[in-house]
Amino acid sequence: MHKKLRGVVWTVTLPLLDIRNLTFTAGDQRILDRLGLTIDPGEIHALLGANGSGKTTLAYLLMGCDGYVPTTGTVMFNGADLLSLKTHERAKLGLTLAWQEPARFEGLTIREYLTLGRTSLDPEPALLQVGLDPDRYLNRRVDKALSGGERHRVELASVLSMKPTLAILDEPTAGIDMLSISHIINVIRVLKDHGGAVLLITHQEEVAAIADSASQLCNGRIIFSGDPAHVIEHFRGRTCVRCDGEVCGYVRT
């Protein structure tokens, strides 16, 4: 966007994702509390937080999953009012989510899962990016026979195939062996190379370290933001400026 102010043309970059004052309650429990967060186009933003801090709830809410409707707040995505859209409409805008515990599909092959009816799409590059051999995997089914780590990698390959504008990756390294974490980091970089942004939900400091920016979530609120090294240090330092560790367990040492 270009604005003219006092005779000077200023270029203003609108955030890709602009979350303001977002509150979500379940019963009498406030899971997200007036949360605010912005992500720019092409930015990798790591979101760190203890278990139960609201990270996955935020992911579900952004994707429009059933039952995740905020009580207050706005979410703008690429200029569109995200909260007024259904899940598949959000995906059509370029938003997607890789689940922390991905679904299993009886009968569906990995080839079908990666292409989803787009016959012109070649699923092999995405599988190679996550370190899976297409010859061995394309005709396997996305069912219980895949290990947790394999299923996670297939989920990331599925996200890669979509070339999203913003990918929400919820704990993408869960169940992945240490040797394969480099594949996951590679996927995040490839997403960025495609011009996409990433909201990276993780506990893994080495994964968070590749982000451009980071935030720490505690009890439904962003309590600290900045460059990843500082946020990781803050997170690791077990300090919480908001609850002093009473709620999130990150006790000041």
Residues that bind other proteins (CB under 8 A): 63, 65-66, 86-88, 90-92, 96-97, 99, 102-108, 112, 116-117, 158, 162
**For residues 127 and 210, which CB has a smaller minimum distance to other proteins in the complex?**
127
**For residues 65 and 76, which CB has a smaller minimum distance to other proteins in the complex?**
65
For the CB of residue 11, give the shortest distance to other proteins in the complex, in Å: 31
3-state secondary structure of 100: coil
For the CB of residue 107, give the shortest distance to other proteins in the complex, in Å: 3
For the CB of residue 195, give the shortest distance to other proteins in the complex, in Å: 18
| Pair 66, 249: CB distance under 8 Å | no
The structure tokens listed for 164 are 């999203």
Distance CA 63, CA 176 (A): 24
For the CB of residue 231, give the shortest distance to other proteins in the complex, in Å: 27
Other beta carbons less than 10 A from residue 27's beta carbon = 6
Closest CA to 182 of 129, 122, 250, 245: 129
Query: 2-5 and 8-11 as β-strands: parallel, antiparallel, unpaired?
Result: antiparallel
**For residues 121 and 181, which CB has a smaller minimum distance to other proteins in the complex?**
121
**For residues 151 and 192, which CB has a smaller minimum distance to other proteins in the complex?**
151
For the CB of residue 126, give the shortest distance to other proteins in the complex, in Å: 12
| Pair 163, 125: CB distance under 8 Å | no
**For residues 48 and 154, which CB has a smaller minimum distance to other proteins in the complex?**
154
The structure tokens listed for 63 are 């994707």
For the CB of residue 252, give the shortest distance to other proteins in the complex, in Å: 38
* Dihedral, 162, 56, 172, 189 alpha carbons, nearest 10: 60
Query: Any bridge partners for residue 197, and if so which?
Result: 166
